[in-house]
A and B are shown apart, each in its own frame.
Chain A
Amino acid sequence: MPHPGVPHSWFRNKDGLGLWEGRGKVVATGVGTSPTARRWDEKPETSMGALTIIAIRKAIADAGISPDEIDGLVLTPESTTGVSNDPKTPPPPGWEKHFKMASFPQAGITRGDIDWLLLNTPELKNVKFMMNGAMCMSVSFVAAAEAVARGLTQTCLVVRGWHNLAGRYYVGVGASALNTASGPFKYSSIWGLPACGTTAMVFEEYCRKYGKSHDQMANFVVTQRRNGLMNPDGFYSQHRPEMITVEDYLTARWIAKPANIYDNDLPIMAALAVVFTTPERAKNHKQKPVYILSHGQTRPEMMGVTPTLEKWEQATDRMGRILYEGSGVGPDDLSFENMYDGFTLFHQFHLEGLRYAARGEKRGYALDLYETDISIEGPNPVSPSGGNNGNGRTRWWNHRDTILQLQGRSPSQIRKKAEIGVSGAPMPDICDALIWSATPPV
């Protein structure tokens, strides 16, 4: 059964909307994270769907509530940015012994599916509100926030799983495997531009404009890995507890110069579920409520087939304005920022759009900031989650950690008091972000 997407009118995507009507009416409480793996081993019990069910059950347990109380489910169905099976591919042998089958044969394997999830989590018997937040879990967080604020659901799960099949992730698959290219790809993809290529070009433009260099990224990348290795749920802490050095980073192989291999994030298997509810109901939840103050959205205004520095700066500036206008807070109120980092070379666009730790500057300061103390112990924690770069590709470590930071229980807890944080993903010009607070707005 098809489920609705998020109504366009729910997104805050322009200036002048004022304070968000739902400000302080929605909170996050329980968080559930599945185990991680590098690739799927084709066993039903380690599938993306299985991981999603694990995450859901952990989130409900973490919130300390009964599954009966869940009356909403918002899911991001896309579970990769890389390769998927043909949608008609039947499940592997033995699948039906583990899971009830939905009409879509790849449900739980290479695509999230609300019907499949509900069939296989029979304890969720009171779910009435269902919605798909397309593309990124950021969209699902916004959808769930609006749904709770509008009274469409009282206690809502926000869910996303990621799959990673054996073999190559991008190279030689999907459109790249075809003999012809069509649509915008006939201009942008036929020369084999790797995924980070666009980001690399805009980063190069950034460095030229502001007189910066790729070497200035080193401390950020090292700090990302350090933060990620503190997270027991992250891929690297679970499977590759290896710390990167500045020298490792500076000598790394170029993928699309000036993006090197460690500027790219590693595809993994993982799932996250978070419980959203009203402040009133959260009084009965085990975890401290984290208030959503507002949200914002940007979408690209392309002038060609690739973005430009100007467009990314305009988009992230607009995101900053929308978030601060809706939430009633400003850059100086942020205790930390947890914007997206997969690829590392665009994180500074998000950061500068928010004017995070700007000290009066507007643009071109972030790489200098990276060379200061941006650790969780320092005055300006940058991406304390460790992000995709420090934990593996999910696009949600940043959101998850923002909630945990404001609850005071992050494994990479910042040393100063965590009062207000921001998280958003993915790209500088295709982004949904939220401002969160440890306390209700005054």
Chain B
Amino acid sequence: MIYLLSFDIDGTMEFGDPAGGVTVEMVRRAKELGFIVGSCSDRFPSWQKKAWDSYGVAVDFWVPKHMLLDVKTRFQADRYVHIGDRDIDRQLAEKVGFHFWWDHEAVAEPWLAWLTDQR
């Protein structure tokens, strides 16, 4: 199974403004476990890439918030999830068929359970 995780930044990631509860380490772990990971944020895409590079995480995508459909087109996966802190995150995610988790739900790394389920 292939899983794709999209992270909002401000209010979601620990390096966002405001800071959220999702840590870089959680994203790094997901990447190492084979998830397709990236960010989908209102921050400049060019900056998103630089930010991930500065944390040493080789994300697979870094796009504006409204381009989740583009991500879905680019990457074939069995499950698509967007994680964010605002209604607009949920609205845009659900519009293109992504599952949505609030930032506070994501801090428990619920995606890790999928790997267990798979076994």
Contact = CB atoms under 8 A, between A and B. Distances in A.
Whether A and B are associated in the same complex: the answer reads yes
Task: Choose among B18, B46, B50, B67 the residue with the greatest number of A CB atoms under 10 Å from its CB.
Answer: B46
Interface in A216-261: 239-240, 242-245, 247-248, 251-254, 261
14 contacts: A38-B17, A39-B18, A239-B17, A240-B17, A242-B44, A243-B44, A243-B47, A244-B44, A244-B46, A245-B46, A248-B46, A253-B64, A253-B65, A262-B44
Contact of B42 (A39, A243, A261): A261
Interface residues of A, number: 17
B32 to A, nearest CB: 27
B20 to A, nearest CB: 14
Contacts of A262: 44
Given A251-B64, A251-B67, A245 B17 contact: no
B72 interface: no
A166 B50 CA distance: 27
Nearest to B44: A248
A32 B17 CA distance: 26
Nearest to A242: B47
Interface of A: 38-39, 166, 239-240, 242-245, 247-248, 251-254, 261-262
A252 B64 contact: yes
B44 A253 contact: no
Nearest to B17: A38
Interface in B38-73: 42-47, 50, 64-67
Contacts of B42: 253, 261
Contacts of B64: 248, 251-253
Nearest to A262: B44
Nearest to B67: A251
A71 B42 CA distance: 46
Interface in B9-55: 17-18, 42-47, 50
B8 to A, nearest CB: 12
A242 B43 contact: yes
B88 to A, nearest CB: 9
Contacts of B44: 242-245, 248, 262
Contacts of B66: 253-254
Nearest to B47: A242
A244 B18 CA distance: 20
A248 B41 CA distance: 12
Given A38-B17, A239-B17, A247 B67 contact: no
A386 to B, nearest CB: 16
Nearest to B65: A253
